[in-house]
Amino acid sequence: MTTSIASIGIAPGTSMPAIKTSNVAFLLPKRTSIGSPIGINSCLSFANSAAISSLDYFGCDGRPWEKNDGATLEAQCKTLRDKAPAFISAARVNLCKSVILIENHILPAKDLPKMEKRLPEIIAMNPDQLIYYYYPRNNEHPEDIMRIMARHLKKFV
């Protein structure tokens, strides 16, 4: 069996676009065209996607806080405190490994205290793999972000 490097399509049983790269699936916001978001489907409408038989990993990306923290959001549904537990659960129910991508890029300095506060909670979710940007881009204080990441990632085992 061959695995494509990357494929994009509709997640089975949903109307939500999904991308699959090297047997890892991330659900994408619903879009009319690339770069033109029209809204986000329910964060929980992905249950069937985790059941794709060829997946090794299933997970999500998002900001390392929750929607009600008042921090900068790229989209209403892209916060790890709000959605990652459901993705981790869906992965485990379907015998996939779980993966979380921490979006630590394009962060204004005012959001760093929220990241500092919530990052331990994200790490405590104990996904099988935790991914972050090695050197975050488009940040006011990238060195501070990396110090926060380093301090908390030491606790991830």
Residue 1 in domain: no
What region does 37 belong to: left with phi over 0, alpha with psi -120 to 50, or beta?
beta
Per-residue pLDDT, 47: 66
Domain that holds residue 58: 6-153
Per-residue pLDDT, 116: 95
Per-residue pLDDT, 25: 53
Q: Rounded to two decimals, what is the model's pTM?
A: 0.71
pLDDT in tens, the chain (157 residues): 333 233 334 444 555 545 445 455 555 444 322 332 323 344 435 667 788 777 888 888 999 998 888 887 777 678 899 889 999 999 999 899 999 999 988 888 999 999 999 999 999 999 999 998 877 678 889 899 999 999 999 887 6
What angle, 0 to 180 degrees and rounded to 10, lies between the N-to-C axes of helices 142-153 and 112-124? 20
Residue 133 in domain: yes
Per-residue pLDDT, 107: 87
Residue 86 in domain: yes
Number of domains in the chain: 1
